[in-house]
Amino acid sequence: MRIIAGSRRGRKLIAPDGDRVRPTEDRVKEALFSILQDRVEGAAFLDLFAGSGQVGLEALSRGAARAVFVDDSPDSLRLVRDNLRLTGFEGSASVVRADACDFLRSTGERFHIVFLDPPYRLGFLQRALPLAAERTAPDGVIFCEHPREEELPETAGAFRKARVYRYGKISLTCYRAA
C-alpha cells in the first residue's frame, strides 16, 4: 500500500493486518483520482468507512485542503492516525470514530468529494448514500466502491448516477448533482 501521486508520492503506508479491512486496490485508487483530476486541489474530502485511510491520504497528497476520516473501528482509526503521522498530514485531517450514518446525520460540514467504501454486501452503502448526498456540496461528487454485481440506485437525494466504472470484480459508481 502506497501513495501513488502528489506531494507524498511513493510513500509506503502501514497496511492493516488480517482480512478485516479490505484496502482499495492501487489500480482502482489510481482510476478514481484519474477521474477526479483537478477536482481534488483545495477540496474538502470525506473518506467514509476509512479503513487504513489510504484514499483520503491520496487526496491530501494530491492537494485536498482537508480530509475527514470516519470509521467505527478503533483498530482502523489507530491505523489512520499512524498513516497520518507517517505522511505528515495530521494538521489537514480529522479522524472521527462513529457509525457512518450517525456521523452524516450529525455533521454540519459539506464536502466536495465523498468516498464510500463500506464492507461489501451488508447494506451499509444503501443506508449511507442518501445521507452522504445531503452532506455533499451542490457542485460536489460522490464515489462508491462496491462489488461489480451490486446495483446502486439511480439517484441519491439531489444527486444522480453519472457513470459506473468497472475494474474486474470492483465497480466505482459516480454521482453528480442532477
The enclosing H or E element of 3 equals none
Global pTM value: 0.94
Measured in residues, the chain has a length of 178
Q: Of 163, 49, 166, 39, which is closest to residue 174 (Cα–Cα)?
A: 163
pLDDT in tens, the chain (178 residues): 899 999 999 999 998 776 666 677 888 999 999 999 889 999 999 999 999 999 999 999 999 999 999 999 999 999 999 999 999 999 999 999 999 999 999 999 999 999 999 987 788 899 999 999 999 999 999 999 999 999 999 999 999 999 999 999 999 999 999 8
Spell out the residues 6+ positions from residue 34 whose beta carbon is closer than 8 angstroms to its own. none
* β-strands 136-147, 170-177 pairing: antiparallel
Distance CA 154, CA 175 (A): 9
pLDDT value at position 80? 96
Return the C-alpha cell found at 121: 454486501
pLDDT value at position 122? 81
pLDDT value at position 21? 62
pLDDT value at position 22? 66
One CATH from 3.40.120.10, 3.40.50.150, 3.40.50.620, 1.10.290.10 for 26-177: 3.40.50.150
Spell out the residues 6+ positions from residue 79 whose beta carbon is closer than 8 angstroms to its own. 14, 16, 21, 51, 52, 53
Give SS3 for 15.
coil
Name the residue type at position 27: R
Q: How far is CA 73 from CA 65, 96, 132, 143, 155, in A?
A: 25, 10, 19, 22, 29
